[in-house]
Chains A and B, each alone.
Chain A
Amino acid sequence: MDTIIGWIIIGVVFYFFVKKKKKKLSPEQIEAQNKKAAQEKALREKKAAQEKALREKKAKDDLKKTQELIKIRKEKEKKILLELTNSDERVYFSYSFVSVKSDLYLINSLNNKIIESSKTCAEKLYSQGYKIVDIDKTGKSAQLEAFNFVIRFSKIDKSKLKLSSKNIKKRKKLPPPPPPIP
């Protein structure tokens, strides 16, 4: 019982001690404190908004730069593709050349990557007058899905191959050999 009363007394003393420590603020002080807190909050919000705006601007700039780079790369690729397609000799790469319909791609010599937009197939190229002149298996895999190939196509103009009688030069007649020495 004594112990309980002792604890109650200690509790009451502690309560009053804490209450005494807590100073009561005047209304002006409370108002100033509130004002300060509001100012700090506004400042924090302003800073956060500025940071957000900066981040958004940076993201926008990055996106713009990336788009510009893609545009430049596409233009370069287009130029290379035009040069390659204008040639009668074309080198194609295939990830898996197993049929006439297998996808073939031209190769960008600047980065050694395939040009996706150049996708075609052997059947189409043959219908355009191209012919396989050389074919190399580039991968070691023996699996059909990994039959990597580099294929060289060439457009042969048949009209140029035909020899006209005008183009054939007559061989000069050689003088008869000297008679044998007795």
Chain B
Amino acid sequence: MQIEVYFSYSFVSPNSTIYKVKDSSYKPTIIETTATTLKDLTKKGWRLSHAIKTSQSAQLESFNFLLVLEKE
């Protein structure tokens, strides 16, 4: 089984843009070139297993989410 972790600034639909994050203990950064959508990943066989809301905001435009995707 494979795993991927994505981040979204506003995860409100399968078409919301999601990004991979460059891991760094000092300051992790979003990798802009990895922009994709859940819809595309689902087509490639990935399945959303966990979605964690990472910010407190209740505004749709700042629904920050960390997404864990799995693939058999």
* A binding-site residues for B, Cβ under 8 Å: 95-103, 122-123, 126, 129, 131-132, 135-137, 140, 142, 144-145, 147, 149
Contact = CB atoms under 8 A, between A and B. Distances in A.
B11 interface: no
A129 B70 CA distance: 12
A97 B70 contact: no
B5 A122 contact: yes
Contacts of A140: 56
B15 to A, nearest CB: 22
A137 B22 CA distance: 19
B33 interface: no
A123 B70 CA distance: 11
Contacts of A102: 5, 23
Contact of A145 (B2, B3, B27, B68): B27
Contacts of B29: 144
B52 A98 contact: no
B41 to A, nearest CB: 14
Given A137-B54, A147-B66, A100 B5 contact: yes
A78 to B, nearest CB: 25
